[in-house]
């Protein structure tokens, strides 16, 4: 059987991304176009419960651009998935109507559970597959963080309401964040992980896999990259200590100092501190629980294959 040309759109709290690819029946994916824009759809949603008009316009403008790219490349199947910010917004119907008009398909405002499953499928189709399971796949987004444990398929999953944009808006107002702000943000993360631990038994983890912009930025920093290089970041294996050091450094920097890093996207500089904090706490908690179970977690894996790839694979 021949491949299917698909277009997958992942619309999160901070960014919107497009993948156009040929997907074979056996799950082989050949990428034709992959792009990302920071639109901050979730601007203020944690406080107001609504999508801001200017955030809607930024996101719908990107959607119209993506519709043209997908059409020009001849995609025959299109799936638009919206996640945390849209789930939380009272006025999401305005967004849904705008996407429908721009792209010609009904956007899916997926549950946190579905988001987690798509992330796991994408991650385990890529760099993670070179390592042993069980995998703990962590998709660290702007509004939520998904944790999925499994080997060939997900066995336990949970979506938590901690993410880089949400925590920044809620707690990290100073530049750089004060010790009190960091402590308050860390308490939110720890409370979320405390609630997740009985649901997702990450003490069984053999390979910890991190996804999405906060994790890839931490990885680029740990590698000392002068510019963002996707091929260098994808599949990188870092020691736990190097990961935590990179997280701590990013959190302590001012926004201007973060922007001085050649790999840093300007739209991520204000929220990467919170993202690094979340990633550090996840890594520490998983390391400690694996050790308590008699194992050892010494390294973490970064994957550029993520929910976007999972969405594309779901269309084959």
Q: Is the dihedral of CA 124, 271, 49, 95 positive or negative?
A: negative
24 and 99 share one domain: yes
What is the per-residue pLDDT for 83? 80
128 and 197 share one domain: yes
Q: Of 110, 143, 171, which residue is a domain's last? A: 110
In a domain, 85, yes or no: yes
CATH of the domain at 212: 3.30.420.150
102 and 128 share one domain: no
294 and 149 share one domain: yes
- Between CA 139 and CA 213 the distance in angstroms is 9
Query: Which residues form the domain of 174?
Result: 123-307
What is the per-residue pLDDT for 84? 64
133 and 277 share one domain: yes
Using alpha carbons, list the distances in angstroms from residue 98 to 11, 69, 95, 132, 204: 13, 18, 5, 43, 43
187 and 291 share one domain: yes
Using alpha carbons, list the distances in angstroms from residue 301 to 135, 147, 216, 233: 10, 14, 10, 10
Global pTM?
0.90
Tens-digit pLDDT string for the chain (316 aa): 689 999 999 998 889 999 999 999 888 899 999 999 999 998 888 788 888 999 999 999 999 999 999 999 999 999 999 886 777 788 888 999 999 999 999 998 888 788 888 989 999 988 788 899 999 999 999 888 999 999 988 999 999 999 999 999 999 999 999 999 999 999 999 999 999 999 999 999 999 999 999 999 999 999 999 999 999 999 999 999 999 999 999 999 999 999 999 999 998 999 999 999 999 999 999 999 999 999 999 999 999 999 999 999 999 8
* The total number of structural domains that make up the chain: 2
What is the per-residue pLDDT for 128? 80
83 and 144 share one domain: no
In a domain, 158, yes or no: yes
- Structure confidence by residue, pLDDT tens digits, 48-85: 888 899 999 999 999 999 999 999 999 999 999 988 67
138 and 78 share one domain: no
In a domain, 49, yes or no: yes
31 and 94 share one domain: yes
149 and 264 share one domain: yes
103 and 195 share one domain: no
- Structure confidence by residue, pLDDT tens digits, 223-262: 999 999 999 999 999 999 999 999 999 999 999 999 999 9
- Between CA 248 and CA 297 the distance in angstroms is 19
In a domain, 117, yes or no: no
In a domain, 90, yes or no: yes
Q: Of 110, 143, 158, which residue is a domain's last? A: 110
In a domain, 135, yes or no: yes
DSSP result, 119-157: HHHHHHTTGGGGS-S-EEEEEE-SS-EEEEEESSSEEEE
In a domain, 212, yes or no: yes
In a domain, 54, yes or no: yes
CATH of the domain at 97: 3.30.420.40
89 and 128 share one domain: no
Q: Of 110, 140, 169, which residue is a domain's last? A: 110
């Amino acid at each position: 059987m021949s491949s299917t040309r698909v277009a997958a759109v992942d619309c999160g709290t901070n960014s919107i991304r497009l993948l156009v690819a040929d997907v074979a029946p056996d799950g082989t994916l050949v990428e034709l176009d992959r792009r990302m824009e920071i639109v901050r759809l979730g601007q203020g949603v944690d406080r107001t419960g609504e999508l801001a008009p200017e955030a809607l316009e930024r996101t719908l403008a990107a959607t119209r651009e993506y519709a043209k790219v997908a059409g020009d490349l001849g995609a025959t199947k299109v799936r638009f998935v919206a996640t945390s910010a849209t789930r939380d917004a009272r006025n999401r119907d305005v967004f849904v109507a705008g996407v429908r008009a721009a792209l010609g398909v009904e956007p899916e405002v997926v549950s946190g559970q579905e988001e987690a499953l798509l992330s796991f499928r994408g991650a385990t189709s890529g760099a993670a597959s070179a390592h042993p399971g069980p995998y703990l796949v962590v998709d660290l987004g702007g509004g939520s963080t998904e944790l999925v444990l499994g080997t060939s398929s997900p066995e336990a999953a949970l979506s938590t309401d901690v993410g880089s944009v949400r925590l920044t808006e809620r707690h990290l107002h100073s530049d750089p964040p004060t010790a009190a702000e960091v402590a308050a943000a860390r308490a939110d993360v720890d409370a979320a992980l405390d609630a997740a631990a009985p649901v997702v038994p990450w003490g069984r983890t053999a390979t910890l896999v991190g996804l999405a912009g906060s994790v890839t930025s931490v990885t680029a920093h740990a590698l000392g990259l002068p510019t963002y290089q996707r091929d260098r970041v994808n599949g990188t294996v870092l020691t736990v200590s190097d990961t935590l050091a990179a997280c701590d450094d990013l959190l302590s920097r001012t926004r201007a100092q973060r922007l001085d890093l050649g790999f840093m996207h300007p739209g991520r500089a204000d929220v990467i501190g919170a993202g690094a904090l979340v990633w550090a706490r996840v890594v520490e908690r998983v390391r400690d629980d694996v050790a308590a179970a008699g194992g050892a977690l010494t390294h973490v894996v970064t994957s550029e294959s993520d929910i976007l790839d999972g969405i594309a694979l779901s269309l084959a």
